[in-house]
Amino acid sequence: MIFKRVLWVFAILCVLVLTFVFYSSFVITVKRHHVLTVFEMAQTGNAYFYQSTTESSSLSGKYMTINLTEVIEYFMKFKGGKDIYTRVMHANIFIYSVIGLNNSEIKNQSTAPWSSFGLIAWKHSEVPNTNLSCCFLYENGIVLNSKVVKISTYVKAKVQSFRFECVNPNPSSKPKGVTLIAEHYPCTSDISTYVAPVFPHRQPGNNTLALCAKIAFGNLNADLTVEWIEYNKNMGVDKIAVFVSNLSSTMSRIFQHYQNTGFLDVHPFALPMVDTINRKLGQKTGQGWSDEQVPVYDCMDRLAGYSYVGIVDFDEFIFPLQDKDFKQFVNRLKKTYHDVSLFTFLVDIYVMDWGKMNENEKLLITQFTNRTQTMQDRVKNIVIPDWIETGSVSTHKAVPRKGYKRIWIPKTVAVLKHFRSCRPDWGHRCINRKHFPRFTDDSLVKRLNEMKTDKNISLYDHILKVKKDLKLTS
């Protein structure tokens, strides 16, 4: 017995000594490197890197560790909300979120290995792409460095959206904070540059479905949004994620209501560097599309524990023609297309400029029943996250993993019903009936009347009641 204990003590001592040796050499090596390169940086005069004097001084001591009290206090703040993005040390990179990956394999958060992390960020185009590395800060105050193993981006922009994938150098530990660091610099001990990761759960159930609604801002149509949320909720969607910025008070109230019930996850959102690179949300430019990709990267990592994830806007209704609800629909998809991980919908546009077909209808989506031909116009998808390359999903596309493929869902199985005004690039043709023949289609109206909620009232009446309760009049 005693012999065993001595052995244990000896083993623990060995580990401590080895750890000490490892850190000492690590800190010394990076420091030497640092001294050389700071000089080079100053010479090149790159405006997007700067030399920080406070950082070198805070790196004193032989351990790359951070004062535990400070770690605890700093990350307590994350519980009550944090700044919307965090600037990394030395470079114009702004991290929006850090998300634990591999959640599909996770059953017990407290014992699970967290092998890799997605870092969703914007990067100024003048910061070089390569040779960033990741820094992991653990509960015991220790900081470890690791490589960026995958970099994804979407369209070019001045402040471009990126997703970096980092491997946890100590996968048996859950990091408290993760950040990036520019080339030639050691991991920083400045806690304010670290972002607390979120750890998504595997959603229980076999056919769980989440929707990513991307960004909601300013003048979202409250009637349409409530009709959309209620349609999806009652058709079998389990969760909707939305990113909000500068919302009207009516919309804030509506989102608050659905957030309280746990159905809607609301993530505060804002753009970095708006003073330097003047822009607004929703702009139809490379920069606008790039900014909109940040929520898509975030959603896909955050919702990866759902069996299916759809990326659709608040005015787009996924409409299965042959199934009564989404559960039945995704079941059919899985059975029919067993090697498919990317399901693409063709689009019916209900052009609102054409005018209402029925003024007496009480819902917005039942007032407009004329649509275009079913077409391939800004198509949207449902993906199976487990079988899609991480970081590959954007608004209209995704890359299936090896062995899986994309399919265009036949318009007899399902379509995307899109309620919108004339597309600006259609110009005057939009109202020309030869260019855009109109088809009267009341399939959605019929569905709303046939579909019954738990309380055995029609979905149509249910939505009316909800809108009344939310004090919305249309």
The residues that touch ligand NAG, with contacts defined as CB under 6 A, are 67, 69-70, 101-102, 104, 108, 110-111, 115-116, 128, 130-131, 167, 183, 205-206, 218-219, 246, 248, 280, 354-355, 357, 370, 438, 440, 456
Question: From the CB of 184, what's the least distance to ligand NAG, in Å?
Answer: 9
Q: Which of 236, 302, 240, 245 is nearest to 265 (CA)?
A: 240
Beta strands 264-268 and 239-247, pairing class: parallel
User: Which residue number, 434 or 471, has a Cβ lying nearer to ligand NAG?
Assistant: 434
Backbone angles phi, psi at 84, to 5 degrees: -70, -35
Question: From the CB of 266, what's the least distance to ligand NAG, in Å?
Answer: 17
User: Which residue number, 53 or 69, has a Cβ lying nearer to ligand NAG?
Assistant: 69
Residue in the block written with tokens 């960026």:
148
The residues, any chain, with a CB within 8 Å of residue 30's CB and separated by 6 or more, are 145, 185, 186, 187
Q: Which helix (H) or strand (E) holds 87?
A: strand 86-87
Question: From the CB of 168, what's the least distance to ligand NAG, in Å?
Answer: 8
User: Which residue number, 56 or 246, has a Cβ lying nearer to ligand NAG?
Assistant: 246
How distant is the alpha carbon of residue 28 from its chain centre? 38
Question: Which burial class, exposed, middle or buried, applies to 84 when counting CB atoms under 10 A from its CB (0-12, 13-18, 19+)?
Answer: middle
User: Which residue number, 250 or 379, has a Cβ lying nearer to ligand NAG?
Assistant: 250
User: Which residue number, 67 or 285, has a Cβ lying nearer to ligand NAG?
Assistant: 67
β-bridge mates for residue 136, sequence order: 144, 178
Question: From the CB of 222, what's the least distance to ligand NAG, in Å?
Answer: 13
Let me know: does 138 contact 175? Beta carbons within 8 Å: yes
- What's the 3-state SS for 16-77? HHHHHHHHHHHHHHHHHHHHHHHHHHHHHCCCCCCCCHHHHHHCCCCCCECCHHHHHHHHHH
Let me know: does 140 contact 183? Beta carbons within 8 Å: no
Question: From the CB of 409, what's the least distance to ligand NAG, in Å?
Answer: 23
User: Which residue number, 65 or 379, has a Cβ lying nearer to ligand NAG?
Assistant: 65
Question: From the CB of 372, what's the least distance to ligand NAG, in Å?
Answer: 11
Question: From the CB of 71, what's the least distance to ligand NAG, in Å?
Answer: 9
Question: From the CB of 112, what's the least distance to ligand NAG, in Å?
Answer: 9
Question: From the CB of 327, what's the least distance to ligand NAG, in Å?
Answer: 10
Torsion 349-404-117-93 (CA) sign:
negative
User: Which residue number, 116 or 179, has a Cβ lying nearer to ligand NAG?
Assistant: 116
Say how far apart CA 225 and CA 467 lie, in whole Å.
10
User: Which residue number, 108 or 260, has a Cβ lying nearer to ligand NAG?
Assistant: 108
Question: From the CB of 283, what's the least distance to ligand NAG, in Å?
Answer: 11
Q: Tell me the CB-side half-sphere exposure of residue 119, using CA atoms within 13 A.
A: 33
User: Which residue number, 168 or 293, has a Cβ lying nearer to ligand NAG?
Assistant: 168
Torsion 235-236-242-248 (CA) sign:
positive
How distant is the alpha carbon of residue 473 from its chain centre? 32
User: Which residue number, 90 or 380, has a Cβ lying nearer to ligand NAG?
Assistant: 90
Residue 35, both tokens: 């001294």
Taken as a whole, the chain contains a residue count of: 474
